[in-house]
Amino acid sequence: MAKVKIIMDREKCIGCGSCVAVCPVNWEIKDDGKSKPKKTELNEVGCNEKAAQVCPVQCIKIEKA
């Protein structure tokens, strides 16, 4: 069972790529120009914490189980 869940409000995303820059292992820019996590349920936070912190519109939230 995952220990961390990533919740992203894609409507708020402005596609700046900050999350991808700091956490390319789990973030990517999709065809609509907005970012999206590759996985939303993980065993550890890793660089996703930094991705949430650098998001200028704060549309990434991390829930710890």
pLDDT digits (tens, 9 = 90+) for 16-61: 999 999 999 999 999 999 999 999 999 999 999 999 999 999 999 9
Q: Are 26 and 35 in contact (CB under 8 A)?
A: no
Tokens of 47: 């660089």
Number of domains present in the structure of the chain: 1
pLDDT band at 2 (very low <50, low <70, confident <90, very high): confident
Q: Are 2 and 63 in contact (CB under 8 A)?
A: no
Residue 63 has pLDDT above 90, yes or no: yes
| pLDDT, position 23 | 98
Q: Are 43 and 63 in contact (CB under 8 A)?
A: no
Domain that holds residue 56: 4-64
Residue 65 has pLDDT above 90, yes or no: no
Neighbours of 39 (CB within 10 A): 14
Q: What is the CATH number of the domain that holds 50?
A: 3.30.70.20
